[in-house]
Homo-oligomer: A and B are copies of this chain.
Amino acid sequence: MSNIPKIVILGAGYGGVLTALRLQKELNYNEADVTLVNKHDYHYITTHLHMPAAGTDNPENARVSISKLIDEFKIDFVKSTVVQIRPQDKKVILEDGTLSYDYLVIGLGGEPETFGIPGLAENAMNIRSINSVRLIREHIEYQFARYKREPHRTDYLTFIVGGAGFTGIEFVGELADRIPELCKQFDVDPSLVKIYNIEAAPTALPGFDPELVQYGMDVLQKKGVTFRIGTAIKECTPEGVVVGEGEEIKSATVIWTGGIRGNRLIEEAGFETMRGRVKVDEFLRCPGSENIYIVGDNSLMFNPEGRPYPPTAQIAMQQGVVCAHNLVASIRNQPLKTFVFSNKGTVASLGKGEAIGIAFGKKYKGRVAAWLKKMIDIRYLFIIGGIPLVLKKGKFL
């Protein structure tokens, strides 16, 4: 048995990958054993998934093999699914084994929040992983093929997106771009296709700049998206959704982007949670378990005004950097660093050549914003994989 501390990182999302990459860089030889556990042997770029979901890009461009990102001489990689976290035993139970740790980093990602809406978990799809977006893409194409054999089923050509947050808006933008291609491919009259974006809040992109929101909605409406804002989905069935006062919208395709909650494994581990998320301390540690760090969607932090930061790739990446720093500092008995979120801005794509965003304290829209979005994506590829990854995947963005 060695006395080298064991660090286990659960999840190779934005938070987990950044933690691993930084540990790989900062740790000295034999200073710690680091193991990264992930369900798949690839990392995926969640902020890019709206494109392969709509079919406007190949899913391959939204994922990177983990062996291309980490140096397996320095970090062990285990492809497995986490079944249980046991803080009291300092163990993680995997589908096919067990790992002991001295320090644990939880970056398992969230789960769709359905707010108890009946039928949503069973009948709606989610933009959450490579597998889930491949399903959405194939499902959509399948509906066009089915319609041609059952032309009375116009519900096959109705697409409902629940939630007009960033994911919902970006997805309807891509889907509206894809529809004319699909209509051509399957000989379908484009006027028969309907895209609904349904949002319970009184505005699309709640919390975002209202002028930009209006611009974005105008762009999307011109592309054929019908917005139902301030309209709650009451129920989701295999036949469609029920909204408002019992109005039924028939559709064979419902995609839910309305919210993210923490991972159930976190609750099951016995941590105190709010919607599955743990309010971490200023060093990103789990209260009462100073050897456990939580990054990304499962980590709850509040801004100076006392409102929770929304779970984004940006905050997860920044958390990964601080988490790795604090792990190294703990091992070296050095003082920990306080996490402070630095908002670099936000850009939402609206489909080809169109976007809205705020960056460097200024508003952007149209082609400039779309270009900014590309730069953000390329910057991310550079951070995780350097120039080679930018050259490999960046040209497709």
Chain A residues 136-153 with CB under 8 Å of chain B are 137-139, 141-142, 144-146, 148-149
As for how many copies of this chain the complex holds, the number is: 2
Best-surrounded residue of A132, A144, A149 (most CB of chain B within 10 A): A149
**Which of B135, B137, B146, B186 is A146 in contact with, Cβ under 8 Å?**
B135
Q: Which residues of chain B have C-beta atoms less than 8 A from A145's C-beta?
A: 131, 134-135, 137-139
- Whether the pair A132, B144 counts as a contact (CB closer than 8 A) is no
Q: Which of A134, A139, A149, A186 has the most CB of B within 10 A?
A: A134
Residues in B neighbouring A186, C-beta threshold 8 A: 134
Q: Are the CB atoms of A138 and B135 closer together than 8 Å?
A: no
For residue A156, give the distance in angstroms from its CB to the closest CB of chain B.
11
CA distance A149 to B131 in the complex (A): 7
Chain A residues 218 to 272 lying within 8 A of chain B, measured CB to CB, are none
Q: Which residues of B contact A132 (CB under 8 A)?
A: 149
A135 to chain B: which residues have CB within 8 Å? 145-146, 148-149
Are B148 and A142 in contact (CB-based, < 8 A)?
no
Instruction: State how many angstroms separate the Cβ of A373 from the closest Cβ of chain B.
Output: 27
Chain B residue contacts of A134, Cβ below 8 A: 145, 148, 186
Question: Quick one: which of A139, A144, A148 has the most chain B CB within 10 A?
Answer: A148
B residues in contact with A144, CB < 8 Å? 138
Distance (Å) between the CB of A59 and the closest chain B CB?
8
Cα separation A132 to B135 with both chains bound (whole Å): 21
Q: Using Cβ atoms and an 8 Å threshold, which residues of chain B touch A138?
A: 138, 141-142, 144-146
List residues of chain B with CB within 8 A of the CB of A141.
138, 141-142
Residue of B nearest to A139 (CB): B142
**In chain A, residues 95-141, which have Cβ atoms closer than 8 Å to a Cβ of chain B?**
131-132, 134-135, 137-139, 141
Q: How far is the CA of A178 from the CA of B394 in the complex (A)?
A: 29
A184 to chain B, nearest CB (A): 10
> Nearest chain B CB to A62's CB is how many angstroms away?
13
Residue of B nearest to A146 (CB): B135
Residue of B nearest to A59 (CB): B185
- In the complex, which residues of chain B have a beta carbon less than 8 angstroms from the beta carbon of A137? 145
Interface string of A20-56 (1 = CB under 8 A from B): 0000000000000000000000000000000000000
In the bound complex, CA of A132 to CA of B146 (Å):
9
A135 to B156, CA, bound (A): 13
Chain B residues with CB under 8 Å of A146's CB are 135, 138
- Residue of B with least CB distance to A143: B138
A142 — which chain B residues lie within 8 A by C-beta?
Answer: 138-139, 141-142
CA distance A326 to B149 in the complex (A): 36
Enumerate A179-206 residues with CB–CB distance to B below 8 Å: 186
Q: List 7 additional A-B contacts (Cβ < 8 Å) besides A131-B149, A134-B148, A139-B145.
A: A132-B149, A135-B148, A137-B145, A138-B141, A141-B141, A141-B142, A142-B142
The 5 closest A-B pairs by CB, nearest first: A138-B145, A131-B148, A135-B145, A138-B142, A142-B142
Can you show 22 pairs from A to B with CB atoms below 8 A apart? A131-B145, A131-B148, A131-B149, A132-B149, A134-B145, A134-B186, A135-B145, A135-B146, A135-B148, A135-B149, A137-B145, A138-B138, A138-B141, A138-B142, A138-B144, A138-B145, A138-B146, A139-B142, A139-B145, A141-B141, A141-B142, A142-B142
